[in-house]
Amino acid sequence: MSFSCVASAFLGKCGALFATIVFKFLEDDVPMIFYICAVTSGLGALCTIGFSVNLQGVSLAEHDAQLELFLEGKVHEYKGKLNDPKCLSLYERMTGRHGEYDPDWAVSLVKRLSKHDTAQGGAAIEKDVPEQAAPGAPVGDAGYDSFVVKLGM
């Protein structure tokens, strides 16, 4: 995410520099300056429509789960809410650059991890969650297991 912030700041500064150079030559042609601004704003609006995602109602735990799987080289295993067509950008929907969506993915993942952990003689994941914790409530900083539980189990 920090790379995106750096890239955004860099491109903003490049745009300001470009405008300073170009507008210097157009000082006498004010209508042309307004046309350039209008075209630039239109391109910005098209990029926003094309590449913005709808993250309303998506937990940060979903991002953590996807990132963790990405770092492990298993991003194809992620089938959570971030792959829901309602959450994807127009570009992702049109090009198919997303994984498949399974609404019950988090539940099946917790069950699978719980069985795996119990089979190895460890405590099941559900035992780490306080009984009074509401779904989606912060569980703590126990790593991968905690954010899987925070997905709403």
* pLDDT, tens digit, 9 for 90 and up, residues 133-146: 455 554 444 445 55
The number of angstroms, rounded, from the C-alpha of 15 to the middle of its chain's C-alpha atoms is 26
* pLDDT, tens digit, 9 for 90 and up, residues 80-109: 888 888 889 999 999 988 888 988 888 887
Taking the CA atoms of residue 7, residue 9, residue 15 and residue 16 in that order, the dihedral angle to the nearest 10 degrees is -160
The single-letter DSSP state of residue 76 is G
pLDDT for the residue numbered 46: 95
pLDDT for the residue numbered 141: 45
CA 147/CA 52 separation, integer angstroms: 25
Residue 117 has pLDDT above 90, yes or no: no
* pLDDT, tens digit, 9 for 90 and up, residues 4-58: 789 889 999 998 999 899 888 888 888 998 998 899 999 999 999 999 988 888 8
Residue 125 has pLDDT above 60, yes or no: no
Residue 64 has pLDDT above 60, yes or no: yes
pLDDT for the residue numbered 153: 45
pLDDT for the residue numbered 90: 92
CA 96/CA 88 separation, integer angstroms: 10
Is residue 79 within 8 Å of 109, Cβ to Cβ? no
* Residue boundaries of the structural domains of the chain: 2-51, 60-149
pTM for the whole thing? 0.56
